[in-house]
Amino acid sequence: MIVDDQKLQSNWYNRQIHPQNKIVKAHLNSIETLSVNIANPTQFATGSHDHLVKLWDLNTFKNTSTLQGHKEGIWSTQYSLDGKQLLTASPDKSLIIWDLSKGKPASVLKEHHNKVYFCQYNEDNKLIASGGEDSRLIIWDTRKGTPLKIIQSENKIIYNIKWSRCGNYLVTSEYGGVSKIFETRNFSQIASFGKFSEDERAWCCDIDFRETSKHKNKIFVGYEVHFFKQKNSLNSKPNLIKSQEQFKCQLSLHKKNLQNLTMNSQLIWTLLNVLTQMVKKSLQSLHAEQNLINIQINFIVFNCFSILLFLNKFNEFIQNQIFYFQSKYQDLRKRLNLFFDKLQLNGIFQIQNLIQDGSARIWESYRRPQEYSPKAIGTLLEHDENVSSIQFVPHASKTLLLTSSYDCSVNFYQI
């Protein structure tokens, strides 16, 4: 699949979108998850490492309720279909179904042996699927609050789970870059894809369930690494990005070596001064001691000056190394500046939004004969750290989004 350079470069020219509203300090620790109440889209929930779940009013951006019950952070949240309950999962090994009218747990589900990464209701809310760091996919019966099926995975972490809208299939994304498909009659595995690698993480997955979509029933998986390598149409840009990261790594290494050498040089000069003072005091003491023979005096003086000579030579070596690394550092700085000039000449003015923390990108996609064309239509700004969750807010005519971040804030955007 090949996309011409002009079309590819146009993807980088997209407008920067600032939030219309913002909760600067929604939690006291990083926010891991955000969910919108489909039954009442003016309500949304956030879960944080401060062990709290908070409910919010989208119109006023005020906290309407706080749920306390988990002993550790909250990593996954989802409203029930009727909006009266909220499902949460935590690394404390438990899931909680909250009764929102009472603000208390209606049910606590405990069967996992380690951190729970993700949980989700099925299409009629009668079942829940959860997975985490105990390598187990657990299917729960919500009416009984007990496991209906426990499936052991050979991969040590299940990161994400997605039910199909029809309810007939379940998809997992797992450690090692592997994804699996299960049919939901008896939850037997019917397919697996992705070659296992210790360097890969299949973080998230979704199914295109739209009846009108040309990608109907296709599964999309998001990976931690090698994203651009797998997207052939973007091969011309990753090489530049990779080069930039290599420059930055070299630059950081040389700066660290330079700092270490400077510290060593200062230490050597201090040692030289101390030894000089010791020699002086020794000479004074030796002259004061008339009983010591001149041979002993000459021997001590000779050794002291030999040490000083060695240290002077070593100091010269250190200074030469410092000069070398300073030159290397300046050379890398020039090459890095030339690299950024090259980026600008290639029309990539928004590349920092791809490699820095705190931004998210909105894409639209469409299919043409023999090619798949992604197009970036906006970059969401004003988070200071990683964006942990993005949720569309249902609206008849507007495209509205909520984002949460490790910087403890929540942003509201209109596209």
pLDDT digits (tens, 9 = 90+) for 2-50: 444 444 444 444 578 899 999 999 999 999 999 999 999 999 999 999 9
pLDDT at 268 over 60: yes
User: Is the confidence at residue 131, as pLDDT, over 70?
Assistant: yes
Q: Return the axis-axis angle of helices 294-345 and 238-288, rounded to nearest 10°.
A: 160
pLDDT tens-digit series, residues 82-128: 999 999 999 999 999 999 999 999 999 999 999 999 999 999 999 99
Q: Give me the sign of the Cα torsion angle 104, 109, 112, 113.
A: positive
User: Three-state SS for 123?
Assistant: coil
Burial letters 131-158, b for 16+ CB under 10 A, else e: bbbbbbbbbbebeeeebebebebebebb
Tokens of 173: 């994304």
> 176 vs 32, 85, 246, CA distance in Å?
22, 34, 25
pLDDT band at 277 (very low <50, low <70, confident <90, very high): confident
The pairs formed by 67-74 with CB atoms below 8 angstroms and a separation of 24 or more are 67/98, 67/103, 69/96, 69/98, 69/104, 69/105, 69/108, 70/94, 70/96, 73/29, 73/32, 73/47, 73/48, 73/49, 74/32, 74/33, 74/47, 74/48, 74/49
Q: How confident is the model at residue 330 (pLDDT cuts 50, 70, 90)?
A: low
- Over 60: is that where the pLDDT of 221 sits? yes
* pLDDT value of position 147: 96
